[in-house]
Structure 1
Amino acid sequence: MSEKHPAPSAQRKRITRRDLVRGIGIAGAAGVLSGGAGGYFLSPRRTESGSSVADGKTVKFGIVAPVTGPYSGDGQEMVRGAKLAVEDINNGGGVLGRKVELVVGDIADQAPENFIQAAERLVSREKVAAASGGYATATSVEFDTYAQAGVPLFHTNTLQANSDYVVEKGMTNVFQCCPTEPWYASGFLQLMQGWIDSGAWVPSSKTAAVISSNDSYSISIATVLKNGLKELGWDISLYEEITVPYADWGPQLSKIRNQPPGLIFVSDYLAGDLASFAKQFATAPTPSLLYQQYGPSVPEYIELAGDAANGVIWSTTIGTLPDEMGKAFRKRYLETFGTEAGLSQSGAQYDIVRLWALAASRAGDPYDFAAVSQAVKDMSFRGVVGTYRFDQKELTAIPYPDATDDPSLGMPHLTYQIQNGEQVLFSPAPYGKGSFQLPAWL
C-alpha cells in the first residue's frame, strides 16, 4: 500500500478558503439544530400539485455497525450517536416535515459478507434514504450496492483503499467522513520530531519496535511510519504482524525487553488487544515511548488497562472535541445512556446523520439521491468533531493541520495522552489544551 500511497507529507497541498455554511449551531446540551438550518427541517416543501413531500411516511436512515461481536464496544458508540441525532432532527420537525427512522444493520465480526448483506437489506428491503457506518470492508465490495442504487453512503473507515476505490469507479455518492490512515503516521512523526527538537523527549535510542495487525489499515500505517523513521535516521529493531483479537503479547514483549527500543508503535486498533499490551508492558517497562492506534478512544480501553494506560499516546483523525459543542454532546450522551461517550465514533455518527439531514433538506427531497449527494459536496458542516468538508474528487474529509492550516476548513487530527486516568488532548491547536508529558516509566 505504501508504494501506491506515498506518505501524506509528499502529497501535502494548501487548501484555499471558502465560505462556511451559515446558520448551523448547537443549542445547549440538547444539541438541537438552530439558526438557518431550522427552517429546512421544520417546513415541508410542496409539489406542483400541492401535496407535501412530508405526507404519510417516515424517512429511513441506515446505520451499519458491529453491535455484536469483538467490536461491539465501538458499534454501540455508533448506534447511540446516531440515535441522538435522529432524536434532535425529529424534535425539530424532521426532514422537510417527515420523521426520521433509524434502521440498524449489524455487521458483527466485520466479515465481508456481513457488510454485503447489510447493504442489500438497507437498500432493497428497507429503502433507506442514506446510510452511515464507522467501518467498511478493505475491498469496498459493499460500495457497489449503494452506488448502483444511488443511495448516499457515509463512513469513517479511514482507509485509503476505500477512497481509491471511489475514485477508480467514478462513484459520486460514497463519502469518507475522515482523513485516510496514512495521515496517522505522518502526523505522529511530525509531533515526535517536535518533542525531540524541543528537548521534551530524548529517545533512549533511535530504534523502533513496530507491531501491526495483519489488515490493510494497520499495515498501511505501520509502513508509512517505518519509511518515515528511516528517513529520519532511525532503525527498525522489530517489525511483526499479528492476527486480531490478540491477548498474549509475551513473545513480542520478550523481544522488546531483550533489545529495548526508543519507540514502541502498535497499529493494531482493537481496544482489548491494546489494553492487554499496556498491562503486560507495565509489568516490566522498557525506556520506550508507547503509541497505540485509535483503540484507546473506546471507553472500555481504560477500564481494561487501568493504571497501565497512563502515559500511552494515541490519535484519531475524527474525534469529539473538548469545546462547548463537544462537551454538551458528551454530557447529553452520559445522561441518556448512563455511560461516558467514547472520543470518536459516537460524535462522528451524531454529526453525520445531521449533516445528511441538512443536505437532504436543501435538496428538497431526501430520496433525490443525486441532489442530496451534490448538496453534501457543496457544504461545509461544523459538528462536534470539527469541520466536514470533502475533497471534490476523492469525497474524503480534508485533514487539519496536515493538509490545510485553517481549522475552519479541515477535520482536526487529534492526538491524546492518557494522564492520571484521563484523556488529555494536546494537539493540534487551538483544540489541544493539555501538553505532552514523559510517561512515568521514563
Structure 2
Amino acid sequence: MSMTLGPDEFSIEVDSLGGTPLVRLGSVPKGLLEVAVALRGGRVQRCSFIWADDDSPTPCYVAVERARNNGSLVISGFYCHNLPFGLTVRELDVLTLVAIGKSNIEIASRLNLSARTVTTHVDHIMGKMSVRSRTAAAVIAVDGGLLKVPFPGGDDGFDLLELGRAFGGTATRRVVRQPRVVKKPFAFGAVLPLHGLAAADGAEMLRGGRLAIDELNRRGGVDGRQLVMEIADVDILDAESVRRGLIALAERDVDVLTSGYFAQQDLAHEIVANWGVPYLHAATMRMMEERVCSDPRRYQNIFQVCASDAHYAPRFVGVLTGLRDTGGWLPSSNRLVVIQGAWDLTDLGVVQAYALAERHGWQIDVIRIFGDDHDSWASLADRIRHGEPAAVMIGNYHVSGTVSFIDSFLADPSDTLVYALYSPSIPEFREQLGERSEGIVWATVTGTYSDAPARAFAGRYRKRFGVSPGRSHAGLAYDRVQLAATALSLAANPRSSRAVADELRVVIHRGVNGTYYFGNESQTAWTYPSPGVDPSLAQAHLIFQIQDGRQRIIDPSPFADARFRPQSWLARSRQAD
C-alpha cells in the first residue's frame, strides 16, 4: 500500500493472521488501532463509522475494507473537525442509539441523561438533518456511516445492525477492560447573601439551588458528571465584598456562575465580562439590560433570568385600572403614589407609568426615599397616611423597609390600597408581620406559580429542608440550575464558556417560575403580560395577595387562583361589599 496522505488523514493495513500492522500511515488513534487488530480475523468485508473515544479529542470518519488478494484489513480515515450535518459528539451518541430503535427513555438510561434532554437532542438532530422522523434520521445514519464507535452505552442491541455484527463485541471491549474513570464534576458558582440585609433571601437561593443539584445528581448528573455547588457569601451592599466573592469563584474555576442581586450590579457585570464564564443573574435592572445591549460582544455571556424593574410601575397602574374598572375596588381619589427605593441603579419604569396613568385618568406622584432605616420608612408611612392617595406602591425589595412602612401605616391607616414589591415573597415577611400581613397586595416579575409542577417542587423542598419555599427566589434558584444544566448537556463542548452561552441563547426552559427564553438583544427573560409577548415563552408578572394567611395569585389570567379582596382598611370598597 503506497499513497500520499493529507495532514488529517491516516491509513493502516492489518495482517489477517498475525494482527500486526503491515503499513501504518498518518496519525492513527490508539484505540482505533487496537480495535483494528481485534477485527482482523472477523468476517467484516466493508463498513464505515465515526470513531470518537475519550482518548481522541477530535472524531474521525473511518472506512474499513478487506483486501481481496491477501485478506488483510485496510482501515483509512480522516479527522472530522466538523461532523456531518453540524452534529455534536453527544448528538452522534443519541443518533447511534436511535438507529438501533432505542426510545428516548432507554437512551437517557444508557447515557445518564434526562429524558427531556434526550428529547431536545433528537429534535436538534432531526432539524440539522432536515428530516421529519426518527426513522429517516436512522436510515441516513446507517447508510452514511454516521454511527459512533465505540458504541455509546455498550454493545447491547447493536447486533441488529451489520456494523454491530461485524464488530462482534469488539467495539467496546477495550473500553470495558479499562478502569472506571471518574470525570471532573461541573461546578456551579453561587454568589449569595448568607448574612446581612438579604440573608433570609440568600437562604432561599441556597436551598433552591441545592435541591436542583441533588435531583440532577440522582439522575446521573450532566453527561455522566456530577454537579457541585461552590458558594461565595457576600454582603450585597458592599462592593468590595461582592468583588472578593466573584474573584474567589473565578479562582475555583466554576463552569457556570449564578447570583441574586447586588446594589453594585454594574461591578459584577464588568468582572464577569472580563472573566467570560456563563453568568445567570437575577438583578431586575433595566440599566443592566441596556449595558448588555450597548456592547453585545463584551457581555455575550451574561443573562438576566427575570424581567427588569422597569415593568413594575406600569404594571401597578394597569392592575389598579383593572380593579377600578371592574368594580373590584373603589379608589378614594385619582392619586397614586410610587415610592422609589434608595438604590442608584433602580428604575421602576416611572416615565412609562406617567403616560399610562394619564390615559386612564390617574395622577402619579413619585417619592424617592434615601434612608433605609425604620424611622425613614415610618416617617414616609405617616406622610402617605395624611395625604391619603388611592394607592401606594412600595418600591423596595427588602423585608425590613417594607415591614417598617406597613407596620407604621397600619397603626392608623388611610383609605389607601397598599401594593408592595417582591419582599413579601420571602417567608420572613409574614413571620415578622404576622396577621397584619393579611390583605397585602404585592408584585414580582419572577414568582413561583401555583400550578402542578410548582406545587410538586414545593413539596420536595419541604421534604428536603423542613420548611416551605418562598414565592420567588427559591424557585428561581432551582430553575436557574436546571436551565444551566440543560445548556451544559447540549453544548458541543460543555467546558467551553462560549459553547454553553450559545446554548443558553436558544434554549427554552419551562421551570416552576415560568418559562426562560433569552431571545432578545439584552439576553433577558421575557415577561407577560407585555405587548406582543407569547405567554408560553415568558415568566408571568405575578400579582399576589395574602388571603387567610396564604399567598394567592390574583393576576394575570390564566395563572390566577383567587380574586382580589378589598383590604380591611379600604373603607369605601368594604362598604360597597
TM-score, normalised with respect to structure 2: 0.66
Contact 2:236/2:263 (8 A) holds in 1: no
The answer to whether the aligner puts 1:37 opposite 2:165 as a matched pair is no
Paired position in structure 2 for 1:9: none
Counterpart residue identity of residue 383, structure 1: G
CA separation of 1:248/1:308 partners in 2, compared to 1, >3 Å: closer, same or farther?
farther
Counterpart residue identity of residue 157, structure 1: A
Counterpart residue identity of residue 195, structure 2: T
Paired position in structure 2 for 1:292: 420
The answer to whether the aligner puts 1:439 opposite 2:567 as a matched pair is yes
- Matches of 2:279 and 2:526, distance apart in 1: 18
Equivalent positions of 1:240-255 (< 5 A) are: 240-246=368-374, 249-255=377-383
Paired position in structure 2 for 1:114: 241
Paired position in structure 2 for 1:131: 257
The answer to whether the aligner puts 1:79 opposite 2:79 as a matched pair is no
Contact 2:425/2:470 (8 A) holds in 1: yes
Equivalent positions of 1:344-363 (< 5 A) are: 344-363=472-491
Give, in angstroms, the shift of residue 53 of structure 1.
13
- Matches of 1:140 and 1:184, distance apart in 2: 21
- Matches of 1:238 and 1:110, distance apart in 2: 24
Counterpart residue identity of residue 155, structure 1: H
Counterpart residue identity of residue 132, structure 1: T
Paired position in structure 1 for 2:502: 374
Give, in angstroms, the shift of residue 224 of structure 1.
4.7
The answer to whether the aligner puts 1:277 opposite 2:427 as a matched pair is no
Question: Helix, strand or coil for the counterpart of 1:61?
Answer: strand
Counterpart residue identity of residue 418, structure 2: L
Equivalent positions of 1:212-361 (< 5 A) are: 212-216=340-344, 218-221=346-349, 224-226=352-354, 228-236=356-364, 239-246=367-374, 249-361=377-489
Farther off after superposition, 244-253 or 389-398:
244-253
CA separation of 1:439/1:367 partners in 2, compared to 1, >3 Å: closer, same or farther?
same
- Matches of 2:307 and 2:461, distance apart in 1: 25
Give, in angstroms, the shift of residue 374 of structure 1.
0.6
Question: Helix, strand or coil for the counterpart of 1:249?
Answer: helix
Paired position in structure 2 for 1:19: none
Paired position in structure 2 for 1:158: 284
Give, in angstroms, the shift of residue 285 of structure 1.
0.9
Contact 1:247/1:273 (8 A) holds in 2: no
CA separation of 1:39/1:199 partners in 2, compared to 1, >3 Å: closer, same or farther?
closer
Contact 2:286/2:347 (8 A) holds in 1: no
The answer to whether the aligner puts 1:56 opposite 2:136 as a matched pair is no
Q: Structure 1 residue runs of 4+, over 6 Å off? A: 49-54
The one of 303, 328, 343 equivalent to 1:175 is 303
- Matches of 2:343 and 2:356, distance apart in 1: 20
The answer to whether the aligner puts 1:65 opposite 2:188 as a matched pair is no
CA separation of 1:193/1:296 partners in 2, compared to 1, >3 Å: closer, same or farther?
same
Give, in angstroms, the shift of residue 346 of structure 1.
0.7
Give, in angstroms, the shift of residue 341 of structure 1.
0.4
- Matches of 2:539 and 2:459, distance apart in 1: 22
Give, in angstroms, the shift of residue 236 of structure 1.
4.2
- Matches of 2:444 and 2:181, distance apart in 1: 38
Contact 1:152/1:174 (8 A) holds in 2: yes
Counterpart residue identity of residue 220, structure 2: G
Give, in angstroms, the shift of residue 305 of structure 1.
1.1
- Matches of 1:359 and 1:121, distance apart in 2: 24
Contact 1:62/1:102 (8 A) holds in 2: yes
Farther off after superposition, 159-168 or 225-234:
225-234
The one of 142, 146, 165 equivalent to 2:272 is 146
Paired position in structure 1 for 2:228: 101
Paired position in structure 1 for 2:321: 193
Contact 1:212/1:222 (8 A) holds in 2: no
Paired position in structure 1 for 2:575: none
- Matches of 1:192 and 1:113, distance apart in 2: 41
Give, in angstroms, the shift of residue 246 of structure 1.
3.5
Q: Residue deviations 1:57-116, cap 9 Å, x none?
A: 222110111011111011111111110111111111111111111001112243222222
Question: Identity of paired residues, percent?
Answer: 31
- Matches of 1:146 and 1:271, distance apart in 2: 28
Q: What is the RMSD of the two structures over their aligned residues, measured on CA atoms?
A: 2.8
Q: Which has the larger radius of gyration?
A: 2
Structure 2 gaps, min length 5: 1-102, 106-111, 122-151, 154-173, 571-577
CA separation of 1:334/1:404 partners in 2, compared to 1, >3 Å: closer, same or farther?
farther
Contact 2:448/2:513 (8 A) holds in 1: yes
Contact 1:400/1:406 (8 A) holds in 2: yes
- Matches of 2:459 and 2:404, distance apart in 1: 29
- Matches of 2:382 and 2:235, distance apart in 1: 33
The one of 178, 201, 215 equivalent to 1:88 is 215
Contact 2:309/2:347 (8 A) holds in 1: no
- Matches of 1:224 and 1:40, distance apart in 2: 39
How many residues matched? Answer: 409
Q: Residue deviations 1:13-34, cap 9 Å, x none?
A: xxxxxxxxxx999xxxxxx984
CA separation of 1:33/1:346 partners in 2, compared to 1, >3 Å: closer, same or farther?
farther
Contact 2:342/2:368 (8 A) holds in 1: no
- Matches of 1:258 and 1:144, distance apart in 2: 44
Q: Residue deviations 1:284-338, cap 9 Å, x none?
A: 1100111111100000101111122112111111111111110011111112111
State the structure with bigger RCO (CA 8 A, min sep 6), 1 or 2.
1
Farther off after superposition, 336-345 or 213-222:
213-222
Contact 1:86/1:353 (8 A) holds in 2: yes
- Matches of 1:426 and 1:91, distance apart in 2: 36
Paired position in structure 1 for 2:43: none
Contact 1:218/1:269 (8 A) holds in 2: no
CA separation of 1:312/1:222 partners in 2, compared to 1, >3 Å: closer, same or farther?
farther
Structure 1 gaps, min length 5: 1-22, 26-31
Contact 1:177/1:397 (8 A) holds in 2: yes
Contact 1:65/1:134 (8 A) holds in 2: yes
Farther off after superposition, 399-408 or 182-191:
399-408
Contact 2:113/2:224 (8 A) holds in 1: no
Counterpart residue identity of residue 284, structure 2: T
Give, in angstroms, the shift of residue 231 of structure 1.
5.0
Q: Residue deviations 1:345-381, cap 9 Å, x none?
A: 0101111111111111111432111111111111111
Give, in angstroms, the shift of residue 340 of structure 1.
1.4
The answer to whether the aligner puts 1:424 opposite 2:504 as a matched pair is no
